[in-house]
Amino acid sequence: METTSSFFSTWDQYMYVGAATCVLLGVLILLFHEFKVFQLKDNKQKYDYVNLHEIRYFWYAVIAFIAAAALYANTVATDKIQDEGIRWFYVRIFITLSFAVIAYITFYSLVRIYYPRQLEKRLSRLRNKPRVSPAGNVMRKLRESEEEHHLEEFMKKEGKIHSIDYDIWLDEKTGFKKIEKYPAYQHVEECSECGYFTMKLEAEEIEQAPTLDENGFLLKHYKCTYCGHREQTEVVVAKLSANVA
């Protein structure tokens, strides 16, 4: 009996230490991600880093917290298990592992379904946060109607034929200009079928190339990564300018 009591006492200590370690690990993962974002001074660099890595780091932290909960759960009702018999010790392990697997599957779906909406809000704030020129002046983001004269010809073509957005920031005091490129395929949209922000641009094809005399048509293919729903959207491509080769 004394040996069994010693075993359970040691087991609980290890579980407490393991749970605390996992909680600390989860917090450190989130802090590490935010520190990496903080280190980047350029808002476009922050945007790209967050877009590529935030969901992954968030998911790693969630896994650490699930593991912490599972380890802590293996300390529940230890006194009763000592009285009832060792078989309940294994039953507790089985139950906690089962709940851990259920939590993993549930949170995996929740992260895929709900977190992209929050991510898009953060990306929007980073994309629209005022830029500062090398001279220290706050720059103005040009409206789409003002961008035409600031883009190279290949950028204009790329923006029309491919899913590329360009943001142009202008220092009106010095004339300094910064052009930022945003591929649309990296972003998610709300799925009309399931209502989640899991719809992504999968491919696009030119139905009719634009000419000097006629508009073109671009067909965009979207697929929901959650429910598998597919959509097609036809986009009008403006006529080519006379000075485009």
Both 50 and 163 in a single domain? no
Where among 128, 163, 197 does a domain terminate? 128
pLDDT value at residue 243 = 45
User: Quick one: average pLDDT of 186-191?
Assistant: 74
Both 191 and 141 in a single domain? no
Both 104 and 11 in a single domain? yes
Tally of domains in the chain: 3
Tens of pLDDT, residues 72-81: 999 998 888 8
Both 80 and 177 in a single domain? no
Both 91 and 8 in a single domain? yes
What is the model's pTM?
0.75
The number of angstroms, rounded, from the C-alpha of 82 to the middle of its chain's C-alpha atoms is 46
Q: Where are the alpha helices (DSSP H) in 129-207?
A: 153-161
Least confident of 18-32, 127-141, 176-190, 229-243: 229-243
pLDDT value at residue 40 = 95
Both 106 and 36 in a single domain? yes
Both 169 and 230 in a single domain? no
Q: Is the pLDDT of residue 232 over 80?
A: yes
* CA angle (55, 60, 65) in 5-degree steps: 120
Whether 219 contacts 207, CB under 8 Å = yes
The domain containing residue 206 runs over which residues? 187-245
Tens of pLDDT, residues 102-139: 999 999 888 888 888 888 899 999 999 999 999 999 99
Both 169 and 234 in a single domain? no
Strand order in the sheet with 188-189: 188-189, 199-208, 216-224, 230-237
Both 54 and 115 in a single domain? yes
- Measure the CA–CA gap between 120 and 152, rounded to whole angstroms: 28
Both 27 and 66 in a single domain? yes
Both 21 and 123 in a single domain? yes
Strand order in the sheet with 140-141: 140-141, 164-170, 177-183
Q: Is the pLDDT of residue 245 over 90?
A: no
Both 86 and 116 in a single domain? yes
